[in-house]
Amino acid sequence: MEKIFGNIINGIEETGGERIELKSPVDGSLIGYIIDTDKDTVERAIQSSREAFNKFYLESTIKSRQELIGKLTDIVQEKATIYADLESKNTGKTIRQSTFMDIPLAISHIRYFAETDEFKFQRKITHPEYPGTEGIVQNAPMGVVASIAPWNVPFLMAVWKIIPPVLAGNAVVIKPSHYTPLTAIELVKDMKAAGFPDGLVNLVNGTGRTTGNLLVNSDHVDMVSFTGSTPTGSRIMEQAAKNIKKVSLELGGKSPNIVFADADLDHAVKGVIFGIFLNAGQLCESASRLIIEESIMDKFLQKVKTYLDSMKSGNPMDFETDISAITTKEQKEKIESLISQTVKSGGNIFYSKNMQGTPDKGTYFPPTLLTGLTPGQQISDEEIFGPVLTVYPFKSEKEAIDLANSTKYGLAAGIWTKDIEKAGRVASMIEAGTVWVNEYHLLSAAAPRGGFKKSGIGRELGLEGILEYTQTRHIFYGNNESGMSDVAYGILIKTE
């Protein structure tokens, strides 16, 4: 029997419409079908969210919203193994990563938003120009938020795209990637079970070219939150400008890991491997550039090679497998093309892992190290989004900083050194929204993340990630105890 994963509108799953095939990158098997949502359905979903927002926001408080989010946390926690299985089958990431990292991390982030006391709906101010008066500054919700999520970490992204805006008082229409919608669909269903009002969070499936464009161009959407490529983010920003719509964009990355000679080398090797080969390099902040002090480069790369040799390839649904699949065939083809161009232009494949044991019809690419590169080459400047580490030696601290900042991106970076003063000095010079020191890929729900330069605008997570989904309102409470009003009004109105 064909499995159809439908849209969820006003609490009801709808399976009518044109279908898109959904295949697993693990082995190429057919998972089922999703719907490529048409314009009328998208607008109906938006209208449903608008109606839910108008009612929910008036009736709810921060506390009541957090109580619902807390109930959702408990439901998702009980279903953690189900979520992990869906995530790995749909994305091709290892079941070990889904079970011990992606799903638990997402659950902890839901719980953070259920419990944080950082977000205050309003604050009092005084007006120094007008003694005796006071004001209230409110963080009011935007209204209906269109959240457009990528395919690489679908469950974590669904959490980030839904929970903070709802906590801030908004309604959401989420469009998961048409490649990896399964855990987002499950989350929206579980929100209904947790007691969220029908329509507050609606889900519409489809491609970016169809459903995504319909959401961005709708006059009835108040804000767009998008995570994906820089070219797509640029187009969304242009489209949103036509009806003055707020956007939050988390876009591409070309993140560096800077390793100094005084670093704990074994710890740094592990961090560099984790930084690029987790999820087969398919993470926005993946550290795809190794910027390493020249005096230790050869020794360091040999240590990297030794660890990579020990990593097990195979079926990602096997708990013993270390290496994830490439989630889409299109992405694998892009990686292959970039590698081919690099070799033709003089780059060297220092290492490429044997990928024995992977399912024949799955989508895989070997962990690869490239040397002999210079800034300005395509592979040095463009996001790879795959398990490919490019290597650049440096001799001075300034050269390392210049190399780190030499791309149009600025999402994340890592610094490896035992000299904490140097680490802080270098970190403050790196053009990136997140800089890890002697760690990588460790995400905290309390810490804002986002990009400098062409890696985006706006922030997710932390207090800043909640405030992103609000707009400020100032309420002025006046009186005339000081007589200032009479002075002001007297400019225009003559009194006896």
pLDDT > 90 fraction of the chain, expressed in percent and rounded: 94
Give the pLDDT mean for 189-204: 98
What superfamily in CATH does domain 256-437 come from? Aldehyde Dehydrogenase; Chain A, domain 2 (3.40.309.10)
pLDDT at 496 over 70: no
Which phi and psi angles does 39 have, rounded to 5°?
-60, -45
Contact 251, 230 (CB under 8 A): yes
Looking up tokens 């009328």, which residue turns up?
40
Q: Is 94 exposed, middle or buried (0-12, 13-18, 19+ CB in 10 A)?
A: buried
26-41: per-residue pLDDT in tens? 999 999 999 999 999 9
The residues, ordered by sequence, that sit 6+ positions from 221 with a Cβ below 8 Å of its Cβ are 46, 144, 145, 146, 173, 215, 245
404-432: per-residue pLDDT in tens? 999 999 999 999 999 999 999 999 999 99
Three-state SS for 177?
coil
Q: What is the pLDDT of residue 494?
A: 83
- Report residue 102 as tokens: 């992606």
Is 250 considered catalytic here? Answer: yes
232-290: per-residue pLDDT in tens? 999 999 999 999 999 999 999 999 999 999 999 999 999 999 999 999 999 999 999 99
- Report residue 252 as tokens: 């591409």
- Report residue 61 as tokens: 């408080």
Give the pLDDT mean for 94-99: 98
What superfamily in CATH does domain 4-251+455-475 come from? Aldehyde Dehydrogenase; Chain A, domain 1 (3.40.605.10)
* Total residue length of the chain: 496
436-471: per-residue pLDDT in tens? 999 999 999 999 999 999 999 999 999 999 999 999
The residues, ordered by sequence, that sit 6+ positions from 54 with a Cβ below 8 Å of its Cβ are none
Residue ranges of domains in the chain: 4-251+455-475, 256-437
Q: Which residue in the list 14, 186, 250, 468 is annotated as catalytic? A: 250
Distances (CA, A) of 261 to 294, 302, 364, 394, 417: 8, 15, 34, 10, 7
Contact 186, 487 (CB under 8 A): no
Specify the DSSP class assigned to residue 367.
-
